[in-house]
Protein backbone atom coordinates (compact mmCIF):
# COMPACT_ATOMS: atom_id res chain seq x y z
CA UNK A 1 0.00 0.00 0.00
CA UNK A 2 2.75 2.48 0.93
CA UNK A 3 4.27 2.27 -2.56
CA UNK A 4 1.19 4.07 -3.88
CA UNK A 5 1.39 7.00 -1.43
CA UNK A 6 3.89 9.06 -3.51
CA UNK A 7 1.72 8.48 -6.59
CA UNK A 8 -1.24 9.99 -4.73
CA UNK A 9 0.80 13.16 -4.26
CA UNK A 10 1.71 13.14 -7.95
CA UNK A 11 -1.92 12.65 -8.95
CA UNK A 12 -2.85 15.53 -6.64
CA UNK A 13 -0.37 17.66 -8.58
CA UNK A 14 -2.09 16.60 -11.81
CA UNK A 15 -5.50 17.32 -10.28
CA UNK A 16 -4.42 20.85 -9.32
CA UNK A 17 -2.97 21.37 -12.78
CA UNK A 18 -6.19 20.22 -14.43
CA UNK A 19 -8.23 22.65 -12.33
CA UNK A 20 -5.74 25.41 -13.17
CA UNK A 21 -6.26 24.69 -16.88
CA UNK A 22 -10.02 25.14 -16.41
CA UNK A 23 -9.58 28.53 -14.75
CA UNK A 24 -6.91 29.66 -17.22
CA UNK A 25 -9.11 28.78 -20.21
CA UNK A 26 -11.85 30.90 -18.65
CA UNK A 27 -9.40 33.80 -18.13
CA UNK A 28 -9.52 33.51 -14.32
CA UNK A 29 -5.76 33.73 -14.12
CA UNK A 30 -5.25 34.56 -10.44
CA UNK A 31 -7.13 31.43 -9.34
CA UNK A 32 -5.24 29.37 -11.93
CA UNK A 33 -1.96 30.60 -10.42
CA UNK A 34 -3.01 29.49 -6.92
CA UNK A 35 -3.67 25.98 -8.17
CA UNK A 36 -0.25 25.93 -9.84
CA UNK A 37 1.23 26.82 -6.45
CA UNK A 38 -0.71 23.95 -4.90
CA UNK A 39 0.51 21.62 -7.63
CA UNK A 40 4.09 22.70 -6.91
CA UNK A 41 3.68 21.72 -3.25
CA UNK A 42 2.42 18.25 -4.21
CA UNK A 43 5.21 17.96 -6.79
CA UNK A 44 7.80 18.60 -4.07
CA UNK A 45 6.33 16.14 -1.62
CA UNK A 46 5.86 13.23 -4.01
CA UNK A 47 9.61 12.85 -4.42
CA UNK A 48 10.24 13.59 -0.74
CA UNK A 49 7.74 10.94 0.38
CA UNK A 50 9.08 8.41 -2.14
CA UNK A 51 12.60 8.82 -0.76
CA UNK A 52 11.36 8.77 2.83
CA UNK A 53 9.42 5.52 2.32
CA UNK A 54 12.09 4.14 -0.04
CA UNK A 55 9.51 3.31 -2.68
CA UNK A 56 10.89 5.12 -5.75
CA UNK A 57 9.73 3.50 -8.97
CA UNK A 58 9.95 3.97 -12.73
CA UNK A 59 6.15 4.32 -12.82
CA UNK A 60 6.32 7.16 -10.33
CA UNK A 61 8.99 8.90 -12.39
CA UNK A 62 6.93 8.70 -15.58
CA UNK A 63 3.74 9.75 -13.78
CA UNK A 64 5.56 12.74 -12.31
CA UNK A 65 6.57 13.96 -15.77
CA UNK A 66 3.04 13.51 -17.11
CA UNK A 67 1.64 15.57 -14.24
CA UNK A 68 4.31 18.25 -14.73
CA UNK A 69 3.45 18.59 -18.42
CA UNK A 70 -0.04 19.70 -17.39
CA UNK A 71 0.69 21.81 -14.31
CA UNK A 72 3.94 23.41 -15.45
CA UNK A 73 3.56 23.11 -19.22
CA UNK A 74 -0.03 23.40 -20.37
CA UNK A 75 -1.13 25.92 -17.74
CA UNK A 76 1.54 28.59 -18.45
CA UNK A 77 0.94 28.10 -22.18
CA UNK A 78 -2.79 28.76 -21.79
CA UNK A 79 -2.10 31.72 -19.49
CA UNK A 80 0.13 33.25 -22.18
CA UNK A 81 -2.57 32.66 -24.79
CA UNK A 82 -5.03 34.58 -22.62
CA UNK A 83 -2.55 37.38 -21.95
CA UNK A 84 -1.87 37.70 -25.68
CA UNK A 85 -5.61 37.83 -26.39
CA UNK A 86 -6.03 40.52 -23.74
CA UNK A 87 -3.08 42.51 -25.11
CA UNK A 88 -4.42 42.43 -28.68
CA UNK A 89 -7.93 43.39 -27.57
CA UNK A 90 -6.59 46.17 -25.35
CA UNK A 91 -4.53 47.57 -28.21
CA UNK A 92 -7.55 47.51 -30.52
CA UNK A 93 -9.75 49.17 -27.92
CA UNK A 94 -12.19 46.26 -27.70
CA UNK A 95 -13.39 45.31 -24.25
CA UNK A 96 -15.17 42.16 -25.48
CA UNK A 97 -14.41 39.54 -28.06
CA UNK A 98 -16.26 40.24 -31.31
CA UNK A 99 -16.23 38.24 -34.53
CA UNK A 100 -13.84 40.79 -36.02
CA UNK A 101 -11.35 40.76 -33.14
CA UNK A 102 -11.43 36.97 -32.97
CA UNK A 103 -10.65 36.74 -36.69
CA UNK A 104 -7.81 39.25 -36.31
CA UNK A 105 -6.29 37.85 -33.16
CA UNK A 106 -7.15 34.17 -32.94
CA UNK A 107 -3.93 32.82 -34.43
CA UNK A 108 -1.20 35.04 -32.97
CA UNK A 109 -2.10 34.35 -29.29
CA UNK A 110 -1.68 30.62 -29.92
CA UNK A 111 2.04 31.38 -29.94
CA UNK A 112 1.77 31.01 -26.15
CA UNK A 113 1.39 27.25 -26.58
CA UNK A 114 5.00 27.08 -27.79
CA UNK A 115 5.86 27.22 -24.08
CA UNK A 116 3.76 24.08 -23.56
CA UNK A 117 5.64 22.27 -26.32
CA UNK A 118 9.00 23.47 -25.01
CA UNK A 119 8.12 22.35 -21.49
CA UNK A 120 7.14 18.87 -22.67
CA UNK A 121 10.39 18.57 -24.62
CA UNK A 122 12.43 19.70 -21.62
CA UNK A 123 10.75 17.16 -19.34
CA UNK A 124 11.48 14.35 -21.81
CA UNK A 125 15.14 15.41 -22.02
CA UNK A 126 15.37 15.76 -18.24
CA UNK A 127 14.32 12.13 -17.72
CA UNK A 128 17.21 10.96 -19.89
CA UNK A 129 19.86 13.46 -18.75
CA UNK A 130 22.17 12.06 -16.07
CA UNK A 131 23.95 15.41 -15.62
CA UNK A 132 21.11 17.01 -13.65
CA UNK A 133 21.34 15.21 -10.33
CA UNK A 134 23.00 18.07 -8.39
CA UNK A 135 22.19 21.04 -10.63
CA UNK A 136 20.03 21.87 -13.63
CA UNK A 137 20.76 22.32 -17.30
CA UNK A 138 18.21 24.81 -18.57
CA UNK A 139 15.37 26.42 -16.61
CA UNK A 140 13.24 23.89 -14.67
CA UNK A 141 9.60 23.79 -15.76
CA UNK A 142 8.18 24.70 -12.31
CA UNK A 143 10.32 27.87 -12.16
CA UNK A 144 9.32 28.83 -15.68
CA UNK A 145 5.64 28.21 -14.94
CA UNK A 146 5.71 30.30 -11.77
CA UNK A 147 7.32 33.22 -13.60
CA UNK A 148 4.49 33.19 -16.15
CA UNK A 149 1.39 32.46 -14.06
CA UNK A 150 2.28 35.15 -11.50
CA UNK A 151 2.41 37.95 -14.11
CA UNK A 152 -1.24 38.88 -13.33
CA UNK A 153 -0.21 39.56 -9.70
CA UNK A 154 1.84 42.55 -10.84
CA UNK A 155 -0.11 45.73 -9.97
CA UNK A 156 -1.76 47.31 -13.02
CA UNK A 157 -0.22 44.56 -15.17
CA UNK A 158 -2.93 45.18 -17.76
CA UNK A 159 -1.47 48.59 -18.51
CA UNK A 160 1.84 47.00 -19.48
CA UNK A 161 0.41 44.22 -21.65
CA UNK A 162 2.00 44.29 -25.08
CA UNK A 163 1.67 41.48 -27.59
CA UNK A 164 5.25 41.85 -28.81
CA UNK A 165 6.66 41.91 -25.30
CA UNK A 166 4.68 38.76 -24.52
CA UNK A 167 5.84 37.14 -27.75
CA UNK A 168 9.41 37.88 -26.71
CA UNK A 169 8.68 36.28 -23.33
CA UNK A 170 7.41 33.15 -25.10
CA UNK A 171 10.61 32.87 -27.12
CA UNK A 172 12.88 33.62 -24.14
CA UNK A 173 11.03 31.13 -21.96
CA UNK A 174 11.22 28.40 -24.60
CA UNK A 175 14.93 29.04 -25.09
CA UNK A 176 15.76 28.95 -21.37
CA UNK A 177 13.83 25.70 -20.87
CA UNK A 178 15.93 23.82 -23.39
CA UNK A 179 19.21 25.73 -23.24
CA UNK A 180 22.50 24.33 -21.98
CA UNK A 181 22.63 27.06 -19.34
CA UNK A 182 23.78 25.57 -15.99
CA UNK A 183 21.54 26.57 -13.06
CA UNK A 184 22.09 25.78 -9.40
CA UNK A 185 19.71 23.62 -7.40
CA UNK A 186 18.43 24.38 -3.92
CA UNK A 187 20.06 21.29 -2.46
CA UNK A 188 22.05 21.62 0.77
CA UNK A 189 24.73 19.04 1.55
CA UNK A 190 25.34 20.82 4.86
CA UNK A 191 24.47 24.07 6.62
CA UNK A 192 27.94 25.48 5.96
CA UNK A 193 27.71 28.93 4.36
CA UNK A 194 30.94 28.46 2.42
CA UNK A 195 29.57 25.38 0.65
CA UNK A 196 26.07 26.80 0.13
CA UNK A 197 26.69 30.56 -0.10
CA UNK A 198 24.95 30.89 -3.46
CA UNK A 199 21.80 29.20 -2.19
CA UNK A 200 21.75 31.32 0.98
CA UNK A 201 22.19 34.57 -0.98
CA UNK A 202 19.37 33.58 -3.33
CA UNK A 203 17.03 32.67 -0.46
CA UNK A 204 17.82 35.92 1.35
CA UNK A 205 17.30 38.17 -1.68
CA UNK A 206 14.26 36.18 -2.81
CA UNK A 207 12.74 36.41 0.67
CA UNK A 208 13.24 40.19 0.75
CA UNK A 209 11.57 40.54 -2.65
CA UNK A 210 8.60 38.51 -1.40
CA UNK A 211 8.30 40.65 1.73
CA UNK A 212 8.24 43.90 -0.22
CA UNK A 213 6.40 42.88 -3.38
CA UNK A 214 4.51 39.73 -2.33
CA UNK A 215 3.56 37.34 -5.15
CA UNK A 216 4.24 39.96 -7.81
CA UNK A 217 7.93 39.43 -6.95
CA UNK A 218 7.96 35.84 -8.28
CA UNK A 219 8.95 36.77 -11.87
CA UNK A 220 11.77 38.89 -10.41
CA UNK A 221 12.88 36.00 -8.20
CA UNK A 222 13.07 33.66 -11.21
CA UNK A 223 15.09 36.33 -13.05
CA UNK A 224 17.37 36.61 -10.00
CA UNK A 225 17.81 32.83 -10.05
CA UNK A 226 18.93 32.88 -13.68
CA UNK A 227 21.25 35.88 -13.20
CA UNK A 228 22.95 34.40 -10.10
CA UNK A 229 23.44 31.11 -11.93
CA UNK A 230 25.04 32.88 -14.90
CA UNK A 231 27.38 34.77 -12.58
CA UNK A 232 28.28 31.61 -10.66
CA UNK A 233 28.84 29.44 -13.72
CA UNK A 234 30.19 32.17 -16.01
CA UNK A 235 33.52 30.36 -16.49
CA UNK A 236 31.88 27.16 -17.67
CA UNK A 237 29.49 29.11 -19.92
CA UNK A 238 32.30 30.97 -21.66
Tell me: do 209 and 92 sit in the same domain: no
Tell me: do 13 and 88 sit in the same domain: yes
* More confident of the two residues 123 and 97: 123
Q: What is the pLDDT of residues 134-189, one digit of tens each?
A: 789 999 999 999 999 999 999 887 777 889 999 999 999 999 999 999 999 887 66
Q: Compute the mean pLDDT over every residue in the chain, rounded to the nearest whole number.
A: 88
CATH number at residue 44: 1.20.120.1760
Are the CB atoms for 16 and 36 separated by under 8 Å? Answer: yes
Q: How far apart are CA 148 and CA 26, in angstroms?
A: 17
Q: How far apart are CA 117 and CA 124, in angstroms?
A: 11
Tell me: do 30 and 91 sit in the same domain: yes
For residue 80, the model assigns a pLDDT of 97
- pLDDT surpasses 90 at 107: no
- pLDDT surpasses 60 at 95: no
Nearest to 113 by CA among 166, 65, 159: 166
* More confident of the two residues 97 and 120: 120
Choosing from 180, 212, 229, the residue where a domain stops is 180
Q: What is the DSSP letter of 136?
A: E
Which range, of 35-39, 64-68, 232-236, averages the lowest pLDDT? 232-236
CA 20 to chain centre: 13
Tell me: do 43 and 97 sit in the same domain: yes
For residue 83, the model assigns a pLDDT of 95
- pLDDT surpasses 70 at 14: yes
Which range, of 21-30, 179-188, 201-210, averages the lowest pLDDT? 179-188
Tell me: do 189 and 222 sit in the same domain: yes
Give mean pLDDT, residues 99-117: 79
Longest dimension (CA), the chain: 61
Choosing from 180, 201, 229, the residue where a domain stops is 180
DSSP codes of every residue in 202-233: HHHHHHHHHHHHGGGGHHHHHHHHHHHHHHHT
Nearest to 213 by CA among 151, 162, 170, 159: 151
Tell me: do 149 and 191 sit in the same domain: no
Tell me: do 15 and 93 sit in the same domain: yes
For residue 28, the model assigns a pLDDT of 96
Q: What is the pLDDT of residues 37-51, one digit of tens each?
A: 999 999 998 887 877
Are the CB atoms for 46 and 9 separated by under 8 Å? Answer: yes
- pLDDT surpasses 70 at 94: no
Tell me: do 166 and 53 sit in the same domain: yes
Among residues of the chain, what percentage have pLDDT more than 70?
90
For residue 170, the model assigns a pLDDT of 97
Give mean pLDDT, residues 116-140: 88
Are the CB atoms for 223 and 209 separated by under 8 Å? Answer: no
Number of structural domains, the chain?
A: 2
Tell me: do 176 and 189 sit in the same domain: no
Tell me: do 174 and 109 sit in the same domain: yes
Q: How many CB atoms lie within 10 A of CB 135?
A: 14
Tell me: do 191 and 170 sit in the same domain: no
In which domain, by residue range, is 199 found? 182-238
- pLDDT surpasses 90 at 225: yes
Tell me: do 127 and 145 sit in the same domain: yes
Choosing from 136, 154, 180, the residue where a domain stops is 180
Amino acid sequence: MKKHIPNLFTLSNLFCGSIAVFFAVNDILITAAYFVFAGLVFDFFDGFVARLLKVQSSVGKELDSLADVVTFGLVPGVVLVQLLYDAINSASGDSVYTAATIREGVYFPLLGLVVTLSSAYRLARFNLDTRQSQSFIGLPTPANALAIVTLPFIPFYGEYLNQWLLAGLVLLSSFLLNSNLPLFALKFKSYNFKENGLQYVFLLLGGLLLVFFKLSAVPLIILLYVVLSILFYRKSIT
